[in-house]
């Protein structure tokens, strides 16, 4: 890494700016539900994917050979945040912050074998990114891992695990103290899989339905999306004809403290609309909405 590429120890700008105009109710909630584990809500929905599969086949024929549901979910989330920035807030030290960028975290298995190691990647997106941008950024990060290169997460974990456990426990406690005041060192923020906008997991690649994955109390990630394998269902239409349809189930675990129920509902509906209309994700949004102050 060159001198220009070195990451500063402490950030010049915090990962988010504090939101000071929230209602008293929203401001007091993090004091009552102090941890993300206390504030987790569980959401489940399903998407009929027959038309989506046609879109994916055409895109793959056009050169996007690995484009799949993973890219669509991420692109749909990025587009949702561009219009509903409340979905990209986080809680630290009982205060709400508007994140400055969009950071998606995903665990990657280096080889699909029992002995294959795992690591995490963190990819940064802009609210104006299209599904093509998401495809290129995600594939570049995944290919880097598959090619044998270690991520910043793996490098940091390799260093920390060599520290004696009592010293490491004390160090982690100190990091939690810094995190409380939104002062986590930039080096840790860059590498940490516990700090970001969203964690997403493609359980479908393992051939099972989606899980409800807990949120981490350490760090500041407020959303966890999991989607499962395609499943077939036989349904009867109005004329009595039996139709075969394909569905993908997905779950979302949310930190309810980052925004109210109305905005969450609007954001979740927008996310589903974006996934089911992927052609709209090929062009940048006309406008990007900024969060309140």
Q: Strand locations in the chain, DSSP E?
A: 16-18, 40-48, 89-92, 95-99, 102-109, 118-125, 198-202, 223-227, 231-236, 242-255
**Residue-level pLDDT at 113:** 67
Q: What is the mean pLDDT of residues 192-207?
A: 95
**Digit-coded pLDDT (tens) for 23-64:** 999 999 999 999 999 999 999 999 999 999 999 999 999 999
Banded pLDDT at 146 (limits 50, 70, 90) = confident
Q: Do the domain assignments include residue 59?
A: no
Q: Do the domain assignments include residue 273?
A: yes
Q: Do the domain assignments include residue 28?
A: no
The H-or-E segment that residue 29 falls in is helix 24-32
Expressed as residue numbers, the domain containing 185 is 65-112+122-281
Structural domain count of the chain: 1
Q: Do the domain assignments include residue 16?
A: no
Is the CB of residue 69 less than 8 Å from the CB of residue 274?
no
Q: Do the domain assignments include residue 49?
A: no
- Is the model's pLDDT at 223 over the cut of 50? yes
What rounded mean pLDDT belongs to the chain? Answer: 92
- pTM for the predicted model, two decimal places: 0.92
- Is the model's pLDDT at 221 over the cut of 50? yes
Tokens at 112, concatenated:
């699909």
More confident residue, 19 or 115: 19
Q: Do the domain assignments include residue 27?
A: no
**Digit-coded pLDDT (tens) for 121-137:** 999 999 999 999 999 99
Q: Do the domain assignments include residue 161?
A: yes
Look up the CATH number of the domain holding residue 258.
Answer: 3.30.559.10
Q: Do the domain assignments include residue 47?
A: no
């Amino acid at each position: 890494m060159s001198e220009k590429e070195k990451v500063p120890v402490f950030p010049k700008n915090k990962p988010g700016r504090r939101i000071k105009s929230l209602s008293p109710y929203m401001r007091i909630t993090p004091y009552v539900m102090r941890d993300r584990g206390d504030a987790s809500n569980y959401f489940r929905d399903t998407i009929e994917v027959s038309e989506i599969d046609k879109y994916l086949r055409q895109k793959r024929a056009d050169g996007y050979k690995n484009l799949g549901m993973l890219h669509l979910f991420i692109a749909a989330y990025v587009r949702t945040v561009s219009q509903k920035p409340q979905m990209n807030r986080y809680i630290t030290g009982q205060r709400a912050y508007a994140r400055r960028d969009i950071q998606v975290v995903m665990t990657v298995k280096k080889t699909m074998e029992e002995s294959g190691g795992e690591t995490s990647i963190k990819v940064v997106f802009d609210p104006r990114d299209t599904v093509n941008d998401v495809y290129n950024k995600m594939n570049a990060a995944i290919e880097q891992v598959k090619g044998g290169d270690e991520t910043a997460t793996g490098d940091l974990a390799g260093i920390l695990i060599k520290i004696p456990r009592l010293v490491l426990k004390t160090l982690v406690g100190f990091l939690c103290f810094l995190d409380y005041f939104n002062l986590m060192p930039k080096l840790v923020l860059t590498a940490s899989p516990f700090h970001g906008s969203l964690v997403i997991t493609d359980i479908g690649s393992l051939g099972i339905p989606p899980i409800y994955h807990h949120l981490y109390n350490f760090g500041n990630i407020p959303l966890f999306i999991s989607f499962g394998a395609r499943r077939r269902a036989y349904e009867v239409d109005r004329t009595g004809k039996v139709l075969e349809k394909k569905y993908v189930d997905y779950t979302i675990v949310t930190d309810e403290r980052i925004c109210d129920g109305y905005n969450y509902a609007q954001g979740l509906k927008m996310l589903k609309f974006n996934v089911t209309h992927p052609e709209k994700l090929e062009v940048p949004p006309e406008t990007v909405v900024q969060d309140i102050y």
